[in-house]
Homo-oligomer: A and B are copies of this chain.
């Protein structure tokens, strides 16, 4: 990006919690999306450069934290069994996307000055 003036902006990330415990965040949503496409936790883990164990733990934690099953995994052999994202899981993706849209819009609408770290008189 080449411009005359440096452009200041914001990035924002959102996590959904239940009783203070993380349910959904960017990584978990990405994992859900890969599981929908690949129907397998191990294939989704591979896609994300994550160990199968880590992906499995994330799925278990998401299910427990949500209080409803987001991913149904069938036990499998060495390659891992199949996995299905439930309607609750699809709802989780919809909810998260709508929140991201809202907060990304808020971030884009937050106007920083051309020089937001310039020294302002201390009025305290």
Contact = CB atoms under 8 A, between A and B. Distances in A.
Interface of A: 1, 3, 6-20, 22-23, 66-68, 70, 87-88, 91-92, 95, 99, 102-103, 106-107, 110, 112, 116-120
Contacts of A18: 6-9
Q: How many copies does the complex hold?
A: 2
A117 B14 CA distance: 16
Contacts of A8: 16-18, 23
A16 B7 contact: no
Contacts of A6: 18-19, 67
Contact of A92 (B70, B88, B117): B117
A66 B3 contact: no
Nearest to A119: B87
B70 A117 contact: yes
A8 to B, nearest CB: 5
Contacts of A67: 6
